[in-house]
A and B are shown apart, each in its own frame.
Chain A
Amino acid sequence: MARYEADVVIIGGGITAAMVAQKLRELRPQASVIVVEAGKRLFDFENRFEYRQRNLDYGENHWPGDFISDQNARGIISRTQAVGGSALHWGGVCNRFSEEDTRLKSMYGLAVDWPIEWADLEKHYCEAERRLGVSGEPSPLKEDWRSEPYPMPAMTSTFNLKELKTWAEQSGIPFWTTPQAKNTVDGYGGRGKCRRCNTCEICPTGARYSPDWTFKQLLDLNRAGDGAATKFQLHDQTLIRRLVLDPSTPRIAAATGAREDGGDDNVEYRASTFVLASGYTWSPHLLLASANSRFPNGLANSSDHVGRYMTGHLAFQTTIDLNLKIYPGMNEQHSLISRQFFRCRPDQPYVRHDLRVWENAGGRAPSMRDRSGKLLLGDALIADWRTRLTRGTARVRGYFDVHPDKDSRLTLDPANKNRWGDPMPVVQHRTDAATQARTAATRQHFEQLFAQLAKANDGRMGNVSGLNYQDHPAGGCRMGTDPSTSVVDSHGRTHDHENLFVVGSPTMPTGGCTNGTLTFVALALRSAAQIAGF
């Protein structure tokens, strides 16, 4: 068995792991840190243009091999397991939550309050934006106050977005551009400026932040021999299967696992502090899989809350055919946002959501045949196509706030095991009774809102559809001040094991009503200071 020892072992190699490792190195430069990731590293930046092109041409995976075939869970929304995690594919959207998300119980009598003051979280949002490199346009709403400006100017609003903004604001709703972890300045974080490649899921220029950049920079610091040489290590293709308790205390003594190329239990890590940064699925999974005679329901689970309150948000969306001309493809992944509906007056029916608008090519595709069914060839096909290009299409979507039931769960599935015989997780989301009771009213709200937008420009609204899964999933190790109803404290320290932290998305009690990544990172950075001992 290979044995490693470090001051801090971080399990998981995604965006929160990268942020915690980076901050630990700054706060405790002499501390040794090992990041252990089950998937492989995909650091061949020089091949990204080729991967992008093969994805465009053939539909091939733009991150080849970014998964482990038998490390599979039912109910998850991403199979990515690689250094960088799901943030490899990330679109880079960096929306903040709002204060209401952290005070649901006290403001609305719903779900729970987070054990964090908004001003504290806001400070860490700023830090997250600096570290990720966010370009953004401040919200005009006073409730969306910021203590620091965005690190970079907002992404250029394309001709299309300007046209769409003019239309959308005729409805009386203010819109502005969505903040993103994409460089609008050359060289920020050692990365290039956005070149509108339209493939943010793999950014060939590096303008969109992905965690592999941070890990490479940490490894480069080792090589630079700056006094912290070899203090940071990245062990990829190493699956941690168990956390092992100290025999006489509730502290975690070791993490054991296996390398892709080795046999059972062939790696052991010992550390003063262990950090679970494996996301909403694999963090609670490891705690449950590490059950032993002293913690028969799983580690950190004396409250029976590990794997409960799995959360996220749902969405309604539509397309609107508009009386304006746009040119689909100018910068398809850039969008408009309104945060007007983040707030809901306590005396009104509860519905909170974001509202986004994108350019879209829906209904503008070339056709093999005209309306009568006649075959079209050559210039006749182009002429027919042009008849559909005098108007434009917008895609409109709102993520809305839903709250998890206690039985919204991640459990171990004895019928689905990996090569090591470990039961894999299954995630089954369930919203609480209050959320279910307002489902019809929420849908009606969106239908009226989309109709209001369409009406502003002689628009024709398409079908309104909802997501069939909860996006930006989180939870499973929720934070709280009461150890009987939560798994970790506000810094991610588990109530049961003083040297075990869970960071990022699993700690969230509720999933908010907008993209979650910036919040995952802000929470992880807040935890990092505690992990460092500050």
Chain B
Amino acid sequence: MRRRALLQSIAGAFVARPLVDLQAASQTPVAAPDLSAANVAALHAVAEVVLPASIGEPPRRDAVEKFVAWVRNYKAGADRGHGYGASTLSAPTGPSPALQYPAQFAALDAQASSQGAVSFAALALDQRRAVIETLLNTPQPVNRLPARPTGANLIADLMGFYFTGADAQNLAYNAEINRDSCRSLDGSDRAPAPLGGGRG
């Protein structure tokens, strides 16, 4: 009972907070806290559960490092231009999603502490999975992979970052599509080569 109550309490940290006014953010962007080494370790521990094991450890670590780089290079209040077919300008980028992460990292570690571990990363894989499933199922289920991190749920953010990316698409199709890369026209009349070499 105590365990369930605690999980519900930490789940509250993963509920989306109202974002501050976008216009205000563009004028006075709030500096997002940098991700600490402990935060990055926690992300690796999350990734071990939510990213495909089949890709192996180096690509999984690479995915986390790209996510960390994305968070660190985020610019609040950036020009987002204007969509085709629209006579209005798009609102600038909002506050960094990372503003919402400290409470979520703290909640993960609080859960670990309740189970006698010094940090979330120190939990066994099954224990981490249980925590993560709870945080994606309660209090409101996360049903969609975010196309870009939003800050509402850092686990979903990491998943969305990877699974909506070009590497995951290659994996799903088992093909070197590399949709976000600039590639030669040569050979594009053939099916992309399967992952790991050879041509399909």
Contact = CB atoms under 8 A, between A and B. Distances in A.
A205 interface: yes
Interface stretch (B16-24, B31-39, B50-58): B50-58
A150 interface: no
A66 interface: yes
A365 B165 CA distance: 11
B156 interface: yes
A386 B52 contact: no
Contacts of A331: 188
Contacts of A58: 74-75, 78, 93, 148
B145 interface: yes
Interface stretch (A13-21, A77-85, A514-522): A77-85
Given A58-B93, A159-B190, A389-B173, A382 B52 contact: yes
For the residues of A in contact with B, the DSSP-based class is loop
Interface stretch (B5-13, B105-113, B175-183): B175-183
A328 interface: yes
A78 B85 CA distance: 6
A530 interface: no
A73 B87 CA distance: 7
B191 interface: yes
A63 B89 contact: no
Contacts of B163: 366, 381, 385
Interface stretch (A102-110, A193-201, A502-510): A193-201
Contacts of A373: 141
B28 interface: no
A366 B168 contact: yes
A61 B81 CA distance: 5
B33 to A, nearest CB: 19
Nearest to A468: B85
Contacts of B171: 382
A14 to B, nearest CB: 16
A204 B79 CA distance: 19
A59 B79 CA distance: 9
Contact of B86 (A77, A195, A367): A77
Interface in A340-398: 365-369, 373, 375, 377-379, 381-382, 385-386, 389
A158 B188 contact: yes
B188 A80 contact: no
B49 interface: yes
Contacts of A75: 87
A330 B177 contact: yes
Interface string A153-169: 00111110010000000
A469 B85 contact: yes
Given A198-B179, A366-B172, A63 B148 contact: no
A330 B188 contact: yes
B144 A368 contact: yes
A333 to B, nearest CB: 12
Given A77-B84, A78-B82, A375 B156 contact: no
Contacts of A157: 189
Interface in B120-146: 129, 132-133, 136-137, 141-145
A373 B133 CA distance: 13
B183 A78 contact: no
Nearest to A80: B82
Given A329-B166, A378-B51, A382-B172, A65 B79 contact: yes
By size class, the interface of chain B is: 35 or more
B87 A367 contact: no
A184 B171 CA distance: 30
A295 B8 CA distance: 74
B156 A368 contact: yes
A67 B85 contact: no
B82 A67 contact: yes
B135 to A, nearest CB: 10
Nearest to A49: B182
Given A58-B78, A195-B184, A385 B172 contact: yes
Contact of A369 (B75, B143, B172, B173): B143
Contacts of A469: 85
B164 interface: yes
B52 A378 contact: yes
A476 to B, nearest CB: 16
Nearest to B179: A329
Nearest to A55: B81
Contacts of A56: 180
A57 interface: yes
B154 interface: no
A156 B185 contact: yes
A257 to B, nearest CB: 23
A61 B177 contact: no
Contact of B172 (A63, A76, A389): A389
Contacts of A332: 179
Nearest to A381: B163
A62 interface: yes
B126 to A, nearest CB: 12
B169 interface: yes
B180 A198 contact: yes
B82 A79 contact: yes
Contacts of A249: none
Give the one of B132, B182, B186 with max A CB within 10 A: B182
A327 B175 contact: yes
A328 B171 CA distance: 13
A69 interface: yes
A72 B49 CA distance: 49
Interface of B: 49-54, 70, 73-75, 78-82, 84-89, 93, 129, 132-133, 136-137, 141-145, 148, 156, 159, 163-164, 166, 168-169, 171-173, 175, 177-186, 188-192
17 contacts: A60-B75, A67-B89, A72-B87, A79-B82, A89-B84, A159-B189, A198-B179, A328-B177, A328-B179, A365-B145, A368-B143, A369-B141, A375-B133, A377-B129, A379-B52, A382-B171, A386-B172
Give the top 10 A-B pairs by smallest Cβ distance, nearest first: A329-B179, A61-B81, A79-B82, A195-B182, A197-B182, A366-B163, A61-B79, A156-B185, A379-B52, A385-B172
Interface of A: 54, 56-67, 69, 72-80, 89, 155-159, 162, 184, 193-198, 204-205, 327-332, 365-369, 373, 375, 377-379, 381-382, 385-386, 389, 467, 469, 471
Given A60-B80, A389-B173, 18 more contacts: A59-B93, A61-B80, A69-B89, A73-B87, A75-B87, A80-B82, A156-B186, A159-B189, A196-B183, A196-B185, A204-B182, A329-B166, A330-B179, A330-B188, A330-B192, A368-B144, A382-B171, A389-B172
